[in-house]
Amino acid sequence: MKFYKFLYCLFFILLTKYSYSMDTIAQQAIMIDFDSSHIILEKNSDQLMKPASMAKLMTIYITFEKIKNKSISMNDKFIVSERAWKKRGSRTFLEPGQNVSVSDLLRGVIVQSGNDAAIVLAEGISGTEDIFSDLMNSVAKELNMKNTVFKNSTGWPDPDQNTTARDLSILTSSLIKNFPELYKMFAEKSFTFNGIKQDNRNPILYNNLVYGSDGLKTGHTQESGYGLVASALRGNLRFVLVLNGMTSMRQRKQESARLLNSAFREFKKVNFYKANQKVIDAKVFLGENNSVPLIVKEDINLLLNSVEKREMNIKAKWNEPISAPIHKDIELGKLIIEISDEKVLSFPMFSGEEVKKQGVLKRIGSTVDYIIWGAVK
């Protein structure tokens, strides 16, 4: 068996090798590439933690879902209950008995982190917050959030309420993917209700701290410390970051900005091939054409850091010569992308066109040539 390979580097190879790594002072953390779910940073990502107000992301998710399937609309109004009005913590300053639109309630939750607004949404959708929390857990299960239990719509401390950084990243990615238009609300920097203006509690939205940042949600309790779920988009690259267990608002702000900015500096999305693009021509034996193009059937885009970009290489493997007849779209080889010794990716290569078999006389001549010269001309 002969393997014909082409090997090239996309970037200059450094003589001195070095490694790239990220770490964080957060107790629990995960950062992923939104498109590929490739993990950039991971620390205690499956360790149980208290979600605090980051639990409101599920309340928002369910509300977005109800709007998308037209069960409710942004203009629908829910009544503020006495229970919601009395809730302590961050508030939208709703008044008991007031009819408030879903649009205003969502902004109360997203921008102001209003516990009262979250409860009104829960009661308006499910009747009671307890029933709504059952819905939250059902949706969490559907999203494969394996280690999450919700007990209320606000993230208010409860001994049985837990989540993980990984689960929150799953929820966040689903929010962005499933509701791209509604998601834009997370970038709003202020909201005024009942004459009271409050700024968005997400620190990275301000002063170009993280260029391209557009969400999502902070959280804090004495037990869990300071946490943040964040996302930013630059060009074709979006990162989702979850941090928790920090000691102050300042630490949360600085650490989230540092990690996201570092990721954007270090990682780039490299387009190797577009769908149906030719990788190489392979020689054909006994065919009307001497060669057949080998193509990939999908876009091949990979997120690489600076080390990987310098050291990676590409190989194409197939058995040559390929005997005719050859039908179109038949798998004939593999495209191998070697990113590191531990990270090797393989993509199938297919025939880009049909190649018919030669007539009898031409086949005799080609066979004789092959016997004499030992190769396909």
- pLDDT digit string (tens) for 45-67? 999 999 999 999 999 999 999 99
Between 372 and 129, residue with greater pLDDT: 129
Percent of residues, the chain, with pLDDT higher than 90: 81
- Report angle CA 304, 164, 35 to the nearest 5 degrees: 30
| Per-residue pLDDT at 9 exceeds 50 | no
| Shared-domain flag, residues 222 and 247 | yes
Q: What is the pLDDT of residue 369?
A: 55
Cα 277–chain centre separation: 26
352 falls within a domain: yes
Compute how many other C-beta atoms are within 10 angstroms of the C-beta atom of residue 327: 11
**Position of tokens 């998710």?**
61
Of 248, 269, 290, the position where a domain reaches its end is 269
| Shared-domain flag, residues 97 and 82 | yes
| Shared-domain flag, residues 218 and 323 | no
Task: Find all residues with CB under 8 Å of 289, minimum gap 6, and list them.
Answer: 355
Partnered with residue 278 across adjacent β-strands are: 295
159 falls within a domain: yes
Residue 178: which of 134, 130, 204, 142 has the closest Cα?
Answer: 142
pTM of the model: 0.85
What is the mean pLDDT of the segment spanning 254-274? 95
Of 269, 302, 320, the position where a domain reaches its end is 269
Spatial contact of 102 and 72, defined as CB atoms under 8 Å apart: yes
- In terms of Cβ atoms closer than 10 Å to its own Cβ (0-12, 13-18, 19+), residue 195 is exposed
| Shared-domain flag, residues 298 and 360 | yes
Question: Which residue range(s) make up the domain with 149?
Answer: 28-269
Domain count, the chain: 2
- Which active-site residues does the annotation give? 53, 56, 113
Q: What is the pLDDT of residue 3?
A: 37
Q: What is the pLDDT of residue 320?
A: 85
What is the mean pLDDT of the segment spanning 20-29? 87
| Shared-domain flag, residues 91 and 182 | yes
**344-347 contacts at long range (C-beta below 8 A, 24 or more positions apart):** 345/302, 347/296, 347/298, 347/300
What is the mean pLDDT of the segment spanning 160-175? 98
Assign 371 a pLDDT band (cuts: 50, 70, 90).
low
Of 269, 302, 324, the position where a domain reaches its end is 269
144-162 per-position pLDDT tens digit: 999 999 999 999 999 999 9
Among the ranges given (2-6, 103-107, 155-159), the one the predictor scored with the smallest mean pLDDT: 2-6
308-353 per-position pLDDT tens digit: 888 889 999 999 889 989 999 999 999 999 998 788 999 999 999 9
| Per-residue pLDDT at 377 exceeds 70 | no
| Shared-domain flag, residues 45 and 109 | yes
| Shared-domain flag, residues 243 and 313 | no
328 falls within a domain: yes
Q: What is the pLDDT of residue 340?
A: 84
| Shared-domain flag, residues 246 and 286 | no
Q: What is the pLDDT of residue 362?
A: 58
7 falls within a domain: no
19 falls within a domain: no
Mean pLDDT, the chain, integer: 90
Strand duo 237-246 + 28-33: pairing:
antiparallel
User: For position 339, which CATH number holds?
Assistant: 2.60.410.10
Q: Three-class SS of residue 152? A: coil
Residue 120: which of 110, 136, 108, 137 has the closest Cα?
Answer: 108
| Per-residue pLDDT at 5 exceeds 60 | no
| Shared-domain flag, residues 115 and 75 | yes
| Per-residue pLDDT at 172 exceeds 60 | yes
Partnered with residue 268 across adjacent β-strands are: 304
What is the mean pLDDT of the segment spanning 257-275? 95
93 falls within a domain: yes
23 falls within a domain: no
Strand duo 237-246 + 267-273: pairing:
unpaired
Q: What is the pLDDT of residue 286?
A: 82
Cα 234–chain centre separation: 14
| Shared-domain flag, residues 265 and 359 | no
- In terms of Cβ atoms closer than 10 Å to its own Cβ (0-12, 13-18, 19+), residue 343 is exposed
The amino acid present at 134, given as its one-letter code, is D
6 falls within a domain: no
User: What sections of the chain are H helices per DSSP?
Assistant: 56-68, 82-86, 102-110, 115-126, 129-142, 165-178, 249-266, 306-311, 360-373
The amino acid present at 98, given as its one-letter code, is Q
